[in-house]
Amino acid sequence: MTETLLVNTSDFADVTLVNKDDEILSEGFIRCKVGPWALTANNVTYMVTGHTIGYWHYFDPNAYGISTQTQGRMPVWGYAEVIESRCDDVEVGKVIYGFLPITQTFDMKPTKLSRSGFEDGNDHRVPLHSLYNRYTFIESDPSFGLHKDLQPVLRPLFTTSFLIDDFLDSENYFGAEQVLILSASSKTALGTAYCAKALGAVKVTALTSENNKAFTQGTGFYDLVETYDSVTDLNPDVKTVIVDMSGNTQLLSTLIEHFEENLTYVCRVGLSHWDAEGSPLPQTETPIQFFFAPDQAKKRIAEWGGAAFAQKMGERWVPFLSSASEWLTVEKAEGASAILKTYKDVLNGNAMPDKGFLFTL
């Protein structure tokens, strides 16, 4: 019997736990014990964009024998251990890292096997973006030996951070003198700020809440930290790129009107304030585009090759990860009650920026 957490895809506060009998493992498949995995605001973004980008499809309950019309499985990033195998090339005991559903056990069909990992070849996943279908054997990547508990919390977020800054740098920051990052205490924002400041091409400015100001300043990743109530104090004459992690259209509208022609580009990434989404943005000639990290990753891997991509990102990732051990504390827990408590806090935007969460159902 396996327990699984389902979320109403149109009402994220409506969460259900279901039990399903374990079936006999099919030939060519592996069965994994799932966890620990991380829960962050990024998972909320997956749900908000679940229909438009397709995140609900990766672990569609119906594809795994759970009949439902209204519920889905929120994807998370974390570890899983192979506990049963009918795949000759993947032995019991292997620990993998990748995109997972919130469940106790999970069956995958390893394809495109290499020394470093494999892709899940479940029929319904094959047409989906390969970045989310790829699983890594952690023994093949030495960086997993560094701060193992921080990895699931930060690794997928930092990948997005690196790619955001790589994209902006490739465009010469659209002629801007300043990158203004909204929801600046979020972990993806911190990684983006770290990468941008390491390059040193532009000033890196934070917008965050009053409660998170001291923490955000303390990381040292920003040249300037301002709060939401001081938006209009920002110098409107500075050419600015906005990286929007918040999804708060009211805030973004204010900034568009504040900077006017000096706003050169808006890169929309996260939806940490997803419940503030919906207000129409003012008309502007400034390009406003949603950033999809897998497309930038695919582009760079094609240009650089997989090994060079990993090396370039690793040059930023390893020192960022080491710095995170000084400002991020990871809490670990098991069971549905602990998961649901933190899930509610993350959903409502109440999770503390200096904490990360790892769970096992």
Distance, in Å, from the CA atom of 74 to the CA atom of 59, rounded to the nearest integer, reads 8
pLDDT over 70 for what percent of the chain?
97
User: For 64-95, what is each residue's pLDDT tens digit?
Assistant: 888 899 999 999 999 999 999 999 999 999 99
The per-residue pLDDT for 274 is: 46
Whole-number average pLDDT of the chain: 92
Give the length of the chain. Answer: 361
- Give the C-alpha separation, 92 to 94, whole Å: 6
Provide the 10 A C-beta neighbour count for residue 109: 19
DSSP state letters, 75-103: -EEEEEEEEEE--TTS-TT-EEEEEE-SB
Give the pLDDT of residue 270: 64
Is residue 209's pLDDT more than 90?
yes
Per-residue pLDDT tens digits for 244-266: 988 888 899 999 999 999 999 99
C-alpha distance from residue 215 to each of 222, 264, 328, 329, 352 (Å): 11, 29, 10, 13, 10
Mean pLDDT of 164-180: 97
Predicted pLDDT of residue 308: 93
CA dist 238 and 231 (Å) reads 13
pLDDT at res. 279 = 66
What pTM does this model have?
A: 0.88
Whether the predicted pLDDT of 272 surpasses 80? no
- Where does the pLDDT of residue 156 fall: very low under 50, low under 70, confident under 90, or very high at 90 and above? very high
DSSP 298-331: HHHHHHH-HHHHHHHHHHHHHHHHHHHHHH-EEE
Domains of the chain and any CATH numbers: 2-149+330-360 (3.90.180.10), 155-294 (3.40.50.720)
CB 221 within 8 A of CB 161: no
Q: pLDDT: is 1 or 312 the higher one? A: 312
Give the separation between CA 118 and CA 136, rounded to whole angstroms.
7
Q: Residue 126 half-sphere exposure, CB side, CA atoms within 13 Å?
A: 8
Least confident among 1-10, 40-49, 196-205: 40-49
Neighbours of 71 (CB within 10 A): 23
